[in-house]
Amino acid sequence: MTITIRPLTRNDKQVWLTLWQGYLTYYSTELPDDITELTWSRLMDASFGIHGLGAVDTGGNLVGFTHYLFHPITWSKDPCCYLEDLFTAQAARNTGAGRALITAVADVARAKGADQLYWLTEDHNKRAQHLYNKIANKTEFIKYKKPL
């Protein structure tokens, strides 16, 4: 399967919704419909700052996505790029889609002069970590989260 990476477009919404639900299901998460709609509208608003890329197979089908954003950091004059979400359909796994999505975000980050590209994953997500360990350096940091 040949994978092409391109920006998400308004025409992707229905398939993105299916993939998004798969992503939320994987994380045992439910979001209100208005949050999903807000996320989509933010992805479609170039001025907002959250960007989306899609992985497309040879048939033109959207089979994965990633969302990313840039933010300033205190340890560099350059921005940081955070890859917030990454998901591929079951049929697109082991096809290079995940790697291609990460590579595309890295290319954008490099072109924008970012200091680094980083992302998080759950400690038990061994499948994803198998890929991540090949293309990035695992850090020693542990994330803490305080609900507000």
Residue-by-residue pLDDT tens, the chain, 148 positions? 699 999 999 999 999 999 999 999 999 999 999 999 999 999 999 999 999 999 999 999 999 999 999 999 999 999 999 999 999 999 999 899 999 999 999 999 999 999 999 999 999 999 999 999 999 999 999 889 999 9
The H or E element that residue 15 is part of is helix 13-26
Tell me what pLDDT residue 1 has.
67
DSSP 24: H
Identify the pLDDT of residue 142: 87
CA distance 46 to 51: 7
Is the pTM value of this prediction over 0.85? yes
Topology of 4-135 in CATH? Aminopeptidase (3.40.630)
User: Do residues 79 and 72 touch, judged by C-beta distance below 8 A?
Assistant: yes
- The DSSP H or E segment spanning 128 is helix 126-135
Helix (H) or strand (E) holding 5: strand 4-7
Length of the chain: 148
Q: Which of 68, 57, 62 is nearest to 104 (CA)?
A: 68
For residue 7, what are the β-bridge partners?
53
